[in-house]
Structure 1
Amino acid sequence: MNPRRKKRLLAVIAIIFGVGSAIGLMLYALQENINLFYTPTELIDGKGENKEKPFIGQKLRIGGMVVPGSVVRDESSLDVSFKLMDTGPMVTIRYEGILPDLFREGQGIVAQGTLVEPDVIEAFEVLAKHDEEYMPPEVAEALKGIKHEKPKYNLNNEN
């Protein structure tokens, strides 16, 4: 191989390696900012065919219905705690701040936050649906094909 071709080949290899390294570093950096959507059932039982569960400290979004009678407000601060469910287990959401005007028991919501225990999320944002017909696309997809029955829950017995 003549020296000119050798230089070109080395330059092409260096460019490919550099671009590949840059893409790899970007994907690694963005990994922490990806918020995956879960329902309470997926959070507890696992998501997908492999039943993958999120790890403690992971940022995520969760959607479901606020369990009637589960909203607990702290009298001295803006701390609120409530339970969220879909068709299965319940998940506790803790939030510090002012809840949306449309937030109420039995209402569908989406919360963004960090998983602090296997069934507890520390939320930094709570969104309530704006009318009876609206449902976030992820929640609608997760609930497709599920026979809807009135949920059976007991607030005295945690699960």
Structure 2
Amino acid sequence: MKARHRRFGLIALGVASAALACAFVLNAFRANVMFFVSPSQIAAHEETQTRRFRLGGLVERGSLVRDADGRTVRFIVTDERASIPVTYEGALPDLFREGSGVVAHGTLGADGRFHADEVLAKHDEKYTPPQVERALRDVRASANTDAGTRR
């Protein structure tokens, strides 16, 4: 009888240990997940409740301003429907340009400005991150639908 209890105890301990390890792994994944959000979603107050997220779109032409300190950069990200001002402190990627695709990681401040701690630029003229491309395609499709209903 004692051998059976000991075996049951070891099995229960193993299952509990595996469950605890799974809980730690899932918690780490949840803490590191960042959702992609377009400027239109932020303007519509969607998906901005998360602590950190990815803002994607195009860098609006004429919006890039460098502060006197040389490290702080301000620009506007747009999806052609809405625009969100972004502040970033650090070195920008070499391919960062006005009018090109960008994905910024960070948080939305109470002032409505996105405070980025990382900025990624597309690596060539043919590539746009899939989420950015999808958001831009959706905006263009709805703009075409809106234009068609006005005629």
Deviations 1:40-70 (A, max 9, x none): 2233435xxxx54333xx2222210112222
Secondary structure at the counterpart of residue 126 of structure 1: strand
CA drift of 1:78 comes to 1.7
Q: Which runs of 5+ in 2 are unaligned?
A: 145-151
Q: Please state if 1:38 is matched with 2:62.
A: no
TM (norm. structure 2) is 0.76
Q: Tell me what 2:60 maps to.
A: 67
Identity %: 37
Q: Using the alignment, how far apart are the partners of 1:85 and 1:15 within structure 2? A: 52
Q: Using the alignment, how far apart are the partners of 1:134 and 1:62 within structure 2? A: 17
Q: Using the alignment, how far apart are the partners of 1:52 and 1:100 within structure 2? A: 27
Secondary structure at the counterpart of residue 147 of structure 1: helix
Q: Using the alignment, how far apart are the partners of 2:47 and 2:55 within structure 1? A: 15
Deviations 1:1-35 (A, max 9, x none): x3322322222122111211122123223433222
Structure 1 residues 80 and 124, CA gap change in structure 2 (3 angstroms): same
2:78 to 76, 85, 109: 85
Q: Tell me what 2:148 maps to.
A: none
Q: Tell me what 1:96 maps to.
A: 89
Deviations 1:108-140 (A, max 9, x none): 111122333374222122222233221112222
Counterpart of 2:125, as a letter, is E
Secondary structure at the counterpart of residue 95 of structure 2: coil
Cα RMSD between the aligned structures? 2.6
Q: Using the alignment, how far apart are the partners of 1:146 and 1:116 within structure 2? A: 25
Counterpart of 1:139, as a letter, is V
Q: Please state if 1:142 is matched with 2:135.
A: yes
Q: Tell me what 2:147 maps to.
A: none
1:53 to 31, 48, 56: 48
TM (norm. structure 1) is 0.73
Q: Using the alignment, how far apart are the partners of 1:25 and 1:118 within structure 2? A: 35
Structure 1 residues 127 and 52, CA gap change in structure 2 (3 angstroms): closer
Q: Please state if 1:115 is matched with 2:108.
A: yes
Q: Using the alignment, how far apart are the partners of 1:54 and 1:32 within structure 2? A: 14
Q: Which runs of 5+ in 1 are unaligned?
A: 151-159
Q: Using the alignment, how far apart are the partners of 1:136 and 1:104 within structure 2? A: 15
